[in-house]
């Protein structure tokens, strides 16, 4: 097959599908995105942290190189988007602070810092005085802090609208259709990037769908910072409160995003306990949040796999799978776009995807 110009169908218009579609269009291919409502799924409910260091989880070493590569390539994705769109992305490189509420949380923070350093990640130990000089609104009673200059952020709702605009300007076609069988699509190549919906798409396997996806819900809050307090924070602040994680993400539109809980209870609406917990913990870290205006409480389902690694790989001569990014979908879009395009073109991906094999959880019975 001549891969110099392919017709490519991208099934799913979240950040992964949109970023890959734009990358493929920039490489000269004719791309069509199939999605009844682009950017309305997990991407809409995400915080948007590009945090390959702060997001590290114990015993998930196969994920670390993917996260680091994604962060390294993200400026390319942002630049590609800005080449075809003038809409804002909310991309910021201010860095991240991670703080501890009490001595027990500080022990957790120090153990995490040692683990991050062991794996070659750059984390700077700070005194609480130094942290509060950077962010004066932080609580004076905090017990510890670290700085991570390499962890950045973007605003997912802004960025996906910019991606949609960039795709349209790059001649990507959008069709408001829900595809359930890849044989329904007339294209040289098909990329399945439909998040949880990928589990319902047939036509590329025999027996049971090998993608073992589950919905992992997270509650998230948006507040507005009053003019007299703005900017309340100037960088992402993550924290531990009684060993619970919390994050506060300042935006240039004077809003602040607070998140996020993790639950697998199948309940699609934000939960009172989760919202209460987020607000309580956020105020412990940054007391002035009490004076902010409440805008929105929301919840979204992220597609998780049994080992919390994505499914990214070619599964037939015609089909590539790119889903299961769990809570790292925003960050890993930088890697998914590049490697997804390479897989569609049938060339070796820029990083090993052995851990992301779409067939690794296959069960025939």
Residue 260 banded pLDDT, cuts 50, 70, 90: confident
Residues 165 and 300 reside in one and the same domain:
no
| CATH, residue 73 | 3.50.50.60
Q: With cut-offs at 50, 70 and 90, classify the pLDDT of residue 49.
A: very high
Domain CATH code at residue 109? 3.30.9.10
Whether residue 163 sits in one domain with residue 254: no
Residue 1 lies in a domain: no
Task: Name the domain boundary from 304, 323, 338.
Answer: 304
State yes or no: pLDDT of 213 exceeds 60.
Answer: yes
Q: Are residues 84 and 47 in the same domain?
A: yes
Residue 239 lies in a domain: yes
- Do the domain assignments include residue 232? yes
Which pLDDT band, with edges at 50, 70 and 90, does 363 fall under? confident
Beta carbons within 10 angstroms of residue 118's beta carbon? 8
**Shared-domain flag, residues 102 and 237:** yes
Is the same domain home to 254 and 337? no
The domain total for the chain is 2
Reported as a single tens digit per residue, the pLDDT across 107-137 is 999 999 999 999 999 999 999 999 999 999 9
At residue 329, the pLDDT reads 96
| pLDDT above 60 for 365 | no
Task: Examine the pLDDT at 84 and tell me if it is beyond 60.
Answer: yes
Joined together, the tokens standing for residue 49 give 């942290």
- Classify residue 363: in a domain, yes or no: no
Q: Within a 10 A sphere around the Cβ of 364, how many other Cβ atoms?
A: 7
The H-or-E segment that residue 105 falls in is helix 103-118
Angle at 94 between CA 92 and CA 96, to 5 degrees: 115
C-alpha to C-alpha distance for 150 and 206, rounded to whole angstroms? 43
Taking the C-alpha atoms of residue 199 and residue 210, their distance in angstroms, rounded to an integer, is 8
State which residues form the domain around 351. 7-88+155-212+306-356
- Asked if the structure places residue 182 within a domain, the reply is yes
Q: Please state, for a pLDDT cut of 70, what percent of the chain lies above it.
A: 99
One domain for residues 266 and 221: yes
Q: Are residues 276 and 179 in the same domain?
A: no
This prediction has a pTM of 0.96
Q: Among 304, 333, 348, identify where a domain stops.
A: 304
Domain boundary among 284, 304, 324: 304
Mean pLDDT over 157-184 rounds to 97
Residue 2 forms part of a structural domain: no
Tell me: do 134 and 164 sit in the same domain.
no
Q: Are residues 288 and 346 in the same domain?
A: no
Cα–Cα distance for residue pair 156/197, rounded to 1 Å: 20
Q: Classify residue 364: in a domain, yes or no.
A: no
């Amino acid at each position: 097959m001549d891969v110099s110009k392919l017709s490519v169908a991208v099934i799913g218009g979240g950040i992964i599908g949109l970023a890959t579609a734009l990358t493929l269009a920039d490489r000269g291919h004719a791309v069509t995105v199939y999605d009844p409502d682009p950017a309305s799924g997990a991407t809409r409910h995400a915080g948007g942290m590009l945090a390959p260091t702060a997001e590290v989880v114990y015993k998930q070493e196969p994920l670390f190189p993917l996260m680091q590569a994604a962060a390294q390539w993200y400026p390319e994705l942002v630049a590609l988007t800005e080449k075809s769109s003038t809409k804002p992305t909310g991309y910021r490189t201010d860095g991240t602070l991670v703080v501890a509420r009490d001595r027990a949380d500080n022990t957790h923070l120090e153990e995490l810092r040692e683990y991050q350093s062991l794996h070659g990640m750059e984390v700077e130990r700070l005194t609480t005085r130094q942290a509060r000089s950077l962010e004066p609104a932080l609580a004076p009673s905090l017990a510890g802090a670290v700085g991570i200059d390499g962890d950045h952020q973007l605003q997912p709702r802004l960025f996906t609208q910019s991606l949609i605009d960039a795709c349209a300007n790059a001649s990507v076609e959008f069709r408001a259709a829900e595809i359930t069988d890849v044989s329904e699509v007339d294209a040289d190549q098909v990329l399945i990037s439909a998040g949880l919906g990928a589990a319902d798409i047939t036509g590329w396997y025999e027996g049971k769908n090998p993608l073992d996806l589950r919905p992992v819900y997270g509650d998230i809050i948006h507040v507005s910072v009053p003019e007299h307090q703005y900017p309340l924070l100037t960088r992402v602040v993550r924290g531990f409160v009684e060993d619970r994680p919390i994050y506060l993400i300042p935006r240039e539109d004077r809003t602040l995003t607070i998140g996020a809980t993790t639950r697998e209870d199948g309940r699609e609406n934000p939960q009172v306990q989760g919202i209460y917990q987020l607000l309580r913990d956020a105020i412990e870290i940054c007391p002035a949040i009490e004076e902010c205006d409440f805008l929105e409480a929301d919840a979204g389902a992220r597609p998780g796999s049994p080992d919390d690694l994505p499914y990214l790989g070619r599964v037939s001569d015609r089909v590539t799978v790119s889903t299961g990014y769990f809570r790292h979908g925003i960050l890993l879009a930088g890697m998914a776009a590049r490697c997804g395009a390479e897989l569609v073109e049938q060339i070796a991906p820029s990083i090993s995807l052995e851990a992301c094999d779409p067939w690794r959880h296959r069960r025939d019975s």
